[in-house]
Structure 1
């Protein structure tokens, strides 16, 4: 699995199926606010939708076309919601 340590406190981890619940909960908790920036949001209604997104990202990574990491997703969501310090990070 891809993990890149940026510094002592931040690592980027390739999103996996085990991250679907946490990512869905972050998305669900900020749905109204994020809708303005994330056009795909209304198509993400279940954890299964989030798993499909993660699987698509992993396919893109394996084909050297994209890289979706959990820290980049979480940081984007948390910065927009203004609550960087109030969540538990996903373990690398």
Structure 2
């Protein structure tokens, strides 16, 4: 089961359509911002939570990560992808 969070309703609809049209994949896309959407989810629900180039847009990164940790199953993982600006120097 996949759950996505997307603040833009049009992009969320596109993502939901892609999930719905992929055989063997079950998922939903919540419209909103993280961590506000975390309240719609159940604690200890996920094996992995990915933040892919999105923490730049979060007001309180610590709060966002704390919310993610609450949603993980025991031994779950949070994976964060961010740009390393040093590689462009």
TM-score (norm 1): 0.28
Answer 1 or 2: which has greater strand percent: 2
Q: Which has the higher contact order (CA 8 A, sep 6+)?
A: 1
